[in-house]
Amino acid sequence: MIAAAVHVAAATATEPSYIVERVVTVAGEVRRTSVFRNGVAVVVREKPGEDKRVLRQPLTEVELRLTPPGREPLVVRFPLTGVPATGAARIGQSLDGLELRMTSPGGIREDLRGWQPAVGQWLELEDGRTGQVIEVLPNGSGFLVRVQIGTSPTSIFVSDEELRRIAVRRIKK
């Protein structure tokens, strides 16, 4: 009787509703990226001793665009519940790697040559720290910029030229 109840309970348990899920664990941090059958992508980041961060984004379809030189772009579409061909999957993996590289600390730098710092802007610095521009003061032909580091009371004063050199990219907070 108990065995039958366990079998029925196991048979009625719902399977995970994700189409694909990738779990990466690095130095105690767990990053889980999932695409669910209902068309929602979810990224979860968990670090020991910190609150879990969950990002959700509804998707309508997955699309890859390839543009061979001198030709019209090739568009490959497949439904969220579909399985891409091996070539499309490899391209998707390459794009994932590129996106990760571009968004990681110390990744590809934003071109800040023409950028003028403004109060309230947040930056990622080349050492991985973040900073907020809290003051911009005229200084000869340029500006002296005060940047508060993270949420601490620590701040640095640098020329706008030096700030363009040590800033990796602007970020939104």
Residue position matching structure tokens 């105690």: 28
Name the residue range of residue 147's domain.
122-171
Please choose, from the candidates 122, 157, 152, the residue with its C-alpha nearest in 3D space to the C-alpha of residue 136: 157
pLDDT at 158: 96
pLDDT at 4: 40
* Ramachandran category for residue 163: left, alpha or beta (phi over 0 → left; psi -120 to 50 → alpha): alpha
- Decide if pLDDT at 149 tops 70: yes
Tokens (6 digits) for 63: 């699309």
Number of domains observed in the structure of the chain:
2
Task: Report d(CA 133, CA 112) in Å as an integer.
Answer: 15
Q: Which percentage of the chain shows pLDDT scores above 90?
A: 25
Fill in the DSSP letter of residue 43: E
The answer to whether residue 13 is domain-embedded is no
Note whether 32 and 62 are same-domain residues. Answer: yes
- Listed residues 48, 73, 103: the one ending a domain: 103
Note whether 78 and 144 are same-domain residues. Answer: no
